Amino acid sequence: MRLGGHVLANLKQLAQSLGLSITTVSRALDGYADVSASTRQRVQEAADKAGYRPNASARRLRKQRAELVAVTLPSEPGHIGPPHFLDMLSGCAEHLASAGLNLVIAPVPHGESELDMCRRFVDGRRVDAMLLVRTKRDDERVEFLQSRGFPFVTNGRTESAIQHPFIDGDGFSGFHNATLRFHRAGHRRIAHVAGPQDYYFAHVRRQGWEAAMRECELPVDLYAEQAPTEQGGYEAALSLLHRPDRPTSIVCATDEMAIGVLRALREVDGGQSVSVVGHDDLPIGAFTSPALSTMRMTGENLGRSFASLLLRAIAGEPAEALQELHAIEFVDRDSHRRPPRAA
Amino acid sequence: MRLGGHVLANLKQLAQSLGLSITTVSRALDGYADVSASTRQRVQEAADKAGYRPNASARRLRKQRAELVAVTLPSEPGHIGPPHFLDMLSGCAEHLASAGLNLVIAPVPHGESELDMCRRFVDGRRVDAMLLVRTKRDDERVEFLQSRGFPFVTNGRTESAIQHPFIDGDGFSGFHNATLRFHRAGHRRIAHVAGPQDYYFAHVRRQGWEAAMRECELPVDLYAEQAPTEQGGYEAALSLLHRPDRPTSIVCATDEMAIGVLRALREVDGGQSVSVVGHDDLPIGAFTSPALSTMRMTGENLGRSFASLLLRAIAGEPAEALQELHAIEFVDRDSHRRPPRAA
DNA sequence: CTTGACTCCCAAAACGTTTTGGATGAGGCT
DNA sequence: AGCCTCATCCAAAACGTTTTGGGAGTCAAG
């Protein structure tokens, strides 16, 4: 196979070989109108033949754009990721690429805070924007980026006084509805297994559950908070199941926790007596026993949405125009069908 | 919270504010010996106070290094890759970062080939090295990068005549051993559900199975090839189960295919009659019914290994010194325990 | 012929860093 | 004094692009 020979390194060489100036070659390739059609074509052909590509670093320096966007990878508990996280990243990267930007992944180095990392990227002008995942209610990364006036989009809201671009699921409504669903099915002791309340998603999900419980005039103390992991869910469930007012149903902040809850239920009574619902629609949920009923954020091609918001944030659109709150839909499987009065 | 005020943009301003030359400030910060200790300290303090970070694009241009490594994301069937792929990426990115490199993810844009993408990255000097996953036996990306003399590491071997750096699992031995294990357990009709044979991993796994079958003097035509997906595995299993010499055990090229095989078995006879083993140790395998026995590549912190190989490839070490073949270990769960003589 | 408009091209500056190749001055030695 | 060494510092070049601000030349109108 012929893969194309040596590559003409730069504009200078290309210009020389054509007997033109660097300026003209550059402008010809960029499609400016002040280059004659014939010259443009000649340049274009020569460039194609030589396999010329502009040096990215040089363009970046001159244009003062890094042509890069960083996405933070949470290293902390709860493992990585929203199920379709990699799909999302992939879609995001692809759409960014069509605008000439690349996506760099930025895990938090050992012994460094997420804030330090942001600082490195922002102050070193290594990227044009940042994509933050796993927001906290009071998120120092958000505060920092706002103080720098740096473009960013978060996956998840915050309680920041200043608006910022985000994409998030409507966790309040999702958990509110899920709780009401249990209530309609006759459940009265509906528990909530919550994640750490400094995370926005965990807090807002709890609020949805709590609001529904109050509306139904049910107590809001059937509640356990743990790390957003399988182990956390397991422990939360054990503590709830040993209470005298043992719940007949459990609304879990995440699928990962819900899977831990199912394990606890199997150990305690074979898993047949308590209804469970999770959130995230992890693929694994279809394979648990019973198959895990759950919730998922609506909207397809989330990666594209993130990319679009990022580009618009870079372009300077105001934050208010860059906020997407997606509805939550119920995923109907088996684990939520236990009767409200258990043995 | 105080997040640090405005940032001194560049060396020039920093130098001016100190009454020093740009050269001296630059060299002071880089720790050169021809700057007096007192000056170095003064510069260092001023830089810290101002929150100065060198402009990445400028350094990259000057040093002729992109400080970036790209990893290709396969968009094609079989979903996205290796099981703990995101963990691997995260570890790799973290260790690259400690050497000053960032990892960019490079999904294949719509309507572009993986080769085009490599070309863009390489000829535009956008990256210093590439990490290729999902190698084919005859891989055009590898050939291209070799022709350019560009540093890269693959996840998976190829049949390239020229050596290149890689990390791979010893699929031959893994499948050889798994097949012999079935033979020892009394199985005689041991089938192989294979992936597309142009992928190296799929080919070498088939060869492992085939070699074992020949050693045991068993026929090597109990074989079906399909896409490396759940659906592919499902279809392959159906075709095998309808044969007169119906297998009593099936060695599957991937866990994803194995999960499809389990589904087919459940549909055909409740899933109790045929032994199955997969490869990859997908987390989901622990939740299938029966729990999927599988294989996994040994070695921890693969991300670190990839990062290290990439750095050494960039440093110019010869390919022969940059090849890691990891042993495959068996993951003992339930799906491989069916009796060799089924109903 | 002059003027202005228009087309096509280009020299030079700029982006911010690292590196090259000295310059300067102090001090020691002969 | 003259010479060498050493410790500090710096001006200028270089990296390869994009952009600024014209400069020729042509042509039509005045």
- Residues in chain A with CB shorter than 8 Å from the CB of B3 are 143-144, 147
Given CB atoms, is B100 within the 8 Å cutoff of chain A? no
**In angstroms, how far is C20 C1' from B296 CA?**
53
Q: What is the pLDDT of residues B201-250, one digit of tens each?
A: 999 999 999 999 999 999 999 999 999 999 999 999 999 999 999 999 99
Residues of B numbered 15-34 whose beta carbons fall under 8 angstroms of chain A's beta carbons: which are they? Answer: none
**Buried-exposed string B311-331: b where 16+ CB fall within 10 A, e elsewhere:** bbbbeeeebeebbbebebbeb
- Is B57 touching A (CB cutoff 8 A)? yes
Cβ distance of B56 and A124 shorter than 8 Å: yes
Cα–Cα distance measured from residue A250 to residue A228, given in angstroms and rounded to the nearest whole number: 15
Q: What is the pLDDT of residues A243-269, one digit of tens each?
A: 999 999 999 999 999 999 999 999 988
Contact B158, B135 (CB under 8 A): yes
- What pLDDT, on a 0 to 100 scale, did the predictor assign at position A74? 79
Residue A65 predicted with pLDDT over 80: yes
Sign of the C-alpha dihedral computed for residues A16, A19, A24 and A27 taken in this order? negative
Most confident of A105-119, A194-208, B267-281: A194-208
pLDDT digits (tens, 9 = 90+) for A297-319: 999 899 999 999 999 999 999 99
Amino acid B83: pLDDT? 57
Q: Among all strands, which nt has the closest C1' to A125 (CA)? A: C16
CA-angle at B242, arms to B236 and B244, nearest 5°:
125
Asked if B92 and B307 count as a contact pair (C-beta separation under 8 A), the reply is yes
User: What stretch of H or E contains A233?
Assistant: helix A230-241
B186 in contact with A, Cβ within 8 Å: no
- Give the residue from A136, A139, A163 showing the smallest Cα distance to A313: A163
- Residue whose C-alpha is closest to residue B289's, from B305, B304, B302, B276: B276
CA of A282 to C1' of D1 (A): 88
Burial of residue B45, with CB atoms counted within 10 A of its CB: 0-12 exposed, 13-18 middle, 19 or more buried: exposed
Chain D footprint positions (protein CB, under 7 Å)? 7-12, 14-22
Region B105-116 average pLDDT: 90
Question: What DSSP assignment string belongs to B183-238?
Answer: HHTT---EEEEE--TTBHHHHHHHHHHHHHHHHTT--S--EEE--SSHHHHHHHHH
Query: Which of A174-183, B93-102, B106-115, B213-222 is the least confident region?
Result: B106-115
Nucleotide nearest to B34 (CA to C1'): D8
Cα distance between residue A172 and residue A337, in whole Å: 22
State the Cα–Cα distance between residues B62 and A223, nearest whole angstrom.
58
DSSP string, B317-330: --GGGGEEEE-EEE
- Whole-number Å distance, CA B8 to C1' C16? 13
pLDDT band at B3; cut points 50, 70, 90: very low
Burial degree of A312 (CB within 10 A; 0-12, 13-18, 19+): middle
| Span CA (A17) to C1' (C8), Å | 19
Structure tokens at A122: 């922002």
Would you call A106 and B110 a contact, using CB atoms and an 8 Å cutoff?
no
Residue A228 carries which DSSP code?
A: S
| Cβ atoms B158, B136 nearer than 8 A | yes
Distance, Å, A17 CA → C9 C1': 16
Spacing of C-alpha A247 from chain mean position:
32
Taking the stretch 60-119 of protein chain A, residues with Cβ within 7 Å of any atom in nucleic acid chain C are 61-62, 64
SS3 B104: strand
Using 50, 70 and 90 to split pLDDT, how confident is the model at B342?
low
Q: For residue B45, name the pLDDT band (cuts at 50, 70, 90).
A: very high
Q: How confident is the model at residue B343 (pLDDT cuts 50, 70, 90)?
A: very low
Give bridge partners of residue B250 from the DSSP assignment.
Answer: B191, B276
Query: Is residue A337 within 8 Å of residue A292, measured between CB atoms?
Result: no
Is B4 a residue whose pLDDT tops 50?
no
Chain B CA closest to residue A3:
B144
The answer to whether A66 contacts B57, with C-beta atoms less than 8 Å apart, is: yes
Closest CA to A228 of A111, A110, A81: A81
Going along chain A from its start, the domains and CATH numbers come out as 1-52 (1.10.260.40), 66-169+299-325 (3.40.50.2300), 171-298 (3.40.50.2300)
Of B107, B119, B287, the CB nearest to A288: B287
- Stretch B64-84: mean pLDDT, rounded? 78
CA of A327 to C1' of D29 (A): 67
Give me the pLDDT at residue A83, please.
Answer: 58
d(CA B76, CA B232): 14
Residue from B105, B145, B160 whose CB has the most chain A CBs within 10 Å, to mutate: B105
Q: Which nucleotide is nearest to B39 (CA to C1')?
A: D8
Closest CA to A75 of A119, A154, A134: A134
- What does pLDDT average to over chain A? 93
| CB-based contact A107 B85, cutoff 8 Å | no
List the single residue in B1, B61, B73 with the smallest CB-CB distance to A90.
B73
Question: Best interface-test mutation with B: which of A29, A72, A104, A127 has the largest number of B CBs within 10 A?
Answer: A104
Name the token pair of A8. 């003409």
Tokens 């290293």 belong to residue: A75
Given a cut of 90, is residue B289 above it in pLDDT? no
Scanning every residue of chain A, which has its alpha carbon at the shortest distance from the alpha carbon of B85?
A: A86
Q: CA A45, CA A50: separation in Å to the nearest integer?
A: 8
A-to-B residue pairs, Cβ atoms closer than 8 angstroms? 143
Query: What's the token pair of residue A206?
Result: 């709890």
Q: From A169, A238, A220, A198, select the one nearest A78 (Cα to Cα).
A: A198
Q: Which nucleotide has the least CA–C1' distance to A32?
A: C8
Q: Looking at chain A, which runs of residues are DSSP E strands?
A: 68-73, 102-107, 129-133, 152-155, 166-169, 190-194, 223-225, 249-252, 275-277, 294-297, 323-326, 328-331
Q: Does A99 touch chain B (CB under 8 A)?
A: no
CA atom of B32 to C1′ atom of D9, Å: 12
C-beta atoms of A107 and B86 within 8 A:
no
Using an 8 Å Cβ cutoff, are A192 and A222 in contact? yes
pLDDT tops 80 at residue B77: no
B288 pLDDT tier (thresholds 50, 70, 90): confident
Residue A119 contacts B where some CB pair is shorter than 8 Å:
yes
Cα–Cα dist A130/B250, whole Å: 47
Cα A64 from Cα A127, distance rounded (Å):
10
User: Are B105 and A93 inside 8 Å of each other by CB?
Assistant: yes
Does the pLDDT at position B1 exceed 50? no
Strand C closer than 7 Å to the CB of B17? no
Under a CB-based contact definition with an 8 Å cutoff, are residues A335 and A276 in contact? Answer: yes
Residue B2: the pLDDT is: 42
Average pLDDT, chain B: 93
Is pLDDT above 70 for B264? yes
| Residue A284 CA, distance from chain mean position | 19
Q: With bands split at pLDDT 50, 70 and 90, how would you rate the model's confidence at B82?
A: low
Q: Which nucleotide is nearest to B61 (CA to C1')?
A: D15
Alpha helices in A82-131 (DSSP H): 85-97, 114-123
Q: How far apart (Å, rounded) are the C-alpha atoms in residues A155 and A158?
A: 10
The reply to whether residue B110 touches residue A94, judged by beta carbons under 8 angstroms, is yes
Cα(B273)–Cα(B267) distance, integer angstroms: 12
Residues with Cβ within 8 Å of A49's Cβ and at least 6 positions away in sequence, in order, are: none
Backbone angles phi, psi at B130, to 5 degrees: -130, 150
Residue numbers in B near A140 (CB within 8 A) = 1
Residue pair B237/B190 in contact (Cβ under 8 Å)? The answer is no
The confidence score (pLDDT) of residue B101 equals 96
Sort strands B223-225 and B190-194 into parallel, antiparallel or unpaired: parallel
pLDDT at residue A55, rounded to an integer: 96
Q: pLDDT band at B80, cuts 50/70/90?
A: low
Asked if pLDDT for residue B147 goes beyond 80, the answer is yes
Q: For residues A194 and A113, give the distance between their C-alpha atoms in angstroms, rounded to a whole number.
A: 25
Interatomic separation, CA of residue B208 and C1' of nucleotide D13, rounded (Å):
60
Q: CA angle, A99 as apex, A55 and B112 as ends, to 5°? A: 80
Instruction: State which residue has its Cα closest to the C1' atom of D14.
Output: B62
Is some CB atom of chain B closer than 8 A to the CB atom of A303? no
**How far is it, in rounded angstroms, from Cα A280 to Cα A258?**
10
Is strand C within 7 Å of residue A31 (CB)? no
Residues 6+ apart with CB under 8 A from B322: B153, B165, B166, B309, B312, B313
Answer yes or no: is pLDDT of A166 > 50.
yes
The stretch A163-184 carries a mean pLDDT of 98
